[in-house]
Amino acid sequence: MQTTRKTFRENMKVLEKDMMCAGEMVNVAIDRSVEALRDLDIEKAGKVVKDDLFINKKRWEIEEQCIHLFATQQPVATDLRELIAVLSINTDLERMGDHAEGIAKIAIMHGNKPLIKPLVDIPRMAEKATDMLTRSLEAFINRDAESAKAICDEDDEVDKLYEQVYRELLSFMTENPTIITRATYLLWAAHNLERIADRVTNICERIVFLVTGTMEEINVSNY
Amino acid sequence: MQEVSLTTENTFFNLPPRTSKDLITKHMNNIIIKDLSLSYGDKQVLKKINQEIEERKITAIIGPSGCGKSTLLRCINRMNDLIPDAKITGQIIFDKMDIYDSNTDVTETRRKIGMVFQRPNPFPKTIYDNVAYGLRINGLKDKTKISELVERSLEDCGLLKEVKDRLHTSAMELSGGQQQRLCIARALAIEPKVILMDEPCSALDPASTFKIEELMVKLKNRYTVIIVTHNMQQAARVSDTTGFLYLGKLIEYGNTKKLFTKPKEKLTEDYISGNFG
């Protein structure tokens, strides 16, 4: 049977491509922000802050495309859920970009003072969160609800790393109150990463909604 | 000359700008409607319409029943000339000529500006003869050439695959959607520049409607398409430009995406939101 609504399908493909592109921009921003903090690279941190404007711009571009498709194509059923999912994921991506920007700003605030310890778990959190983000967007493209659910469960690993960072920093602060400010900066950075992984679970919930039509909370974060 | 665009992501990733091979061409075959008014006896149906219809785009005309949509469409290939008490003033410029100029050859104008009607109206002939009809009355005698053009027109309408084994059976045996596509193929065979469609899907089911809509999108690469529809969702789906007509006046005319997301006129907003009509 000849496929109808070719125009809508083509527009959706462009939209998905743009969303994948926004996801890649966010992944790059997260990587760069954590590198900037790890290496205390103020210049790199400044670039992440500046580049967040492009992520915001991309968000508006995607949202505008969604609005035009709602207004002109009147999607229903799966088409409607697809468009709602893109709109929701788009908002999550923009917020993740803001969290990356937040980490970059922390690096700038930290300045040239030495780190209280070499960063180990924070880069691990970033690595895990970006991997989850990449795979969640692939699950969206493949309409793979099972993978989406599995990725949601992986948020526990990021939570555990966050808890580890929290306890470790708390012990540092108890031992030496002069480093409280710098330790708090690291705690904020870890919290931003924890929130990024939570946002990935939102994306996964939208994928499940897209495939099954059910709105459900899959993994409730401890934080 | 290549058009260059710097996208958001190209800037973010520090990539070279994208280039597009699409050349900006000056559209020479736009249809320019100037101060067009039409009355049937004492009743004025169109009131000083001014609009420029872009070449190789789909332009939709929407509006409530009786607003003058079909009348405006029929003016574009002088179909209203056949109505005895119709009085038309103003101009419609197409192909550098006013189609209402006394020197204009009406037959030639209608050859360049084809029309598809609300209900499919195939001739009681074979599928092949329906499409070949226009070619023959335009004096084409070369059978090979006729066959070639018939096949190409049917192919362009996505109908060839469905009917290639029964080209010489009656067109009346086709489904409604197929008959409408056949009528479009018949219009395309004589290679017009513009296709006018007067509510072409109102007698069709949703699947046939979507097929015709996709066909319109495909056709705009080669033809200017003007569609009149009371189904504003259809106008939103297929058209590039939309005009909203109300009581014979063109209230708003512009980019379809803008008109359906942020209309300039309150009257347009009320109509597309279903507050009246």
User: How high is the mean pLDDT of chain B?
Assistant: 91
Query: What is the band of B1 on the pLDDT scale with cuts at 50, 70, 90?
Result: very low
| Res B4: pLDDT | 54
Name the CATH superfamily housing domain B24-272.
Answer: P-loop containing nucleotide triphosphate hydrolases (3.40.50.300)
- Is the separation of the CB atoms in A69 and A11 below 8 Å? yes
| Res A188: pLDDT | 98
The ipTM value here is 0.72
| Chain B residues touching residue A12 (CB < 8 angstroms) | none
| Res B207: pLDDT | 86
For residues B116-129, average pLDDT: 95
| Res A149: pLDDT | 96
Q: Does B196 touch chain A (CB under 8 A)?
A: no
For residues B231-260, average pLDDT: 95
pTM of the predicted protein model: 0.81
| Res A2: pLDDT | 43
Q: Does A59 touch chain B (CB under 8 A)?
A: no
Note whether B213 contacts A71, CB cutoff 8 Å.
no
Rounded Cα–Cα distance for residues B172 and B176 (Å): 9
Provide the 3-class DSSP secondary structure of residue B20: strand
Q: Does A54 touch chain B (CB under 8 A)?
A: yes
**Nearest chain B CA: its distance from A68 CA (Å):** 6
Q: Does A14 touch chain B (CB under 8 A)?
A: no
| Res A4: pLDDT | 60
- Is the separation of the CB atoms in A100 and A196 below 8 Å? yes
**N-term to C-term CA, chain B:** 47
Chain A with chain B: Cβ pairs closer than 8 A = 52
| Res B23: pLDDT | 38
The 8-class DSSP code of residue B175 comes to -
| Res B24: pLDDT | 39
Interface mutation vs chain A, best among B5, B7, B8, most A CBs within 10 Å: B8
Chain centre to alpha carbon of residue B26: 20
Q: Does A13 touch chain B (CB under 8 A)?
A: no
CA nearest to B187, candidates B97, B122, B119? B122
- b/e map A148-165, b = 16+ CB within 10 Å: bbebbebbeebbebbeeb
Pick from A7, A73, A74: CB nearest B214: A7
Q: Residue B34 forms beta bridges with which residues?
A: B91
Q: Does B214 touch chain A (CB under 8 A)?
A: yes
Task: Say yes or no to pLDDT of B243 above 60.
Answer: yes
Q: Does A68 touch chain B (CB under 8 A)?
A: yes
Share of chain B above pLDDT 70, in %: 93
Note whether A4 contacts B211, CB cutoff 8 Å.
yes
Share of chain B above pLDDT 90, in %: 78
The domains of chain B are located at 24-272
CA nearest to B158, candidates B75, B218, B94? B218
Note whether B8 contacts A54, CB cutoff 8 Å.
yes
Task: Say yes or no to pLDDT of B72 above 90.
Answer: yes
Name the stretches of chain A with pLDDT < 70.
1-4, 222
Task: Say yes or no to pLDDT of B86 above 50.
Answer: yes
Note whether A5 contacts B210, CB cutoff 8 Å.
yes
The domains of chain A are located at 6-212
Rg (CA), chain B: 20
Note whether B12 contacts A54, CB cutoff 8 Å.
yes
Q: Which has more confidence, A2 or B154?
A: B154
Q: Which has more confidence, B9 or B60?
A: B60
| Res B2: pLDDT | 46
Pick from A2, A4, A51: CB nearest B12: A51
| Res B8: pLDDT | 83
Q: Does B236 touch chain A (CB under 8 A)?
A: yes
Q: Count Cβ atoms below 10 Å from residue A75 Cβ, excluding itself.
A: 18
Lowest-confidence region among A172-176, B13-17, B136-140: B13-17
Note whether B8 contacts A57, CB cutoff 8 Å.
yes
| Res A1: pLDDT | 37
Query: What is the band of B5 on the pLDDT scale with cuts at 50, 70, 90?
Result: low
Rounded Cα–Cα distance for residues A150 and A140 (Å): 13
Topology adopted by domain A6-212: Methane Monooxygenase Hydroxylase; Chain G, domain 1 (1.20.58)
Q: Does B55 touch chain A (CB under 8 A)?
A: no
For residues B132-148, average pLDDT: 94
| Res B275: pLDDT | 85
| Chain A residues touching residue B12 (CB < 8 angstroms) | 25, 28, 51, 54-55, 58
Interface mutation vs chain B, best among A1, A3, A4, most B CBs within 10 Å: A4
Pick from A54, A61, A73: CB nearest B237: A73
| Res A145: pLDDT | 96
| Chain A residues touching residue B236 (CB < 8 angstroms) | 71-74
CB within 8 Å of chain A, chain B residues 2-21: 8-9, 11-13
Q: Which has more confidence, B70 or B7?
A: B70
Q: Does B238 touch chain A (CB under 8 A)?
A: yes
Provide the 3-class DSSP secondary structure of residue A2: coil
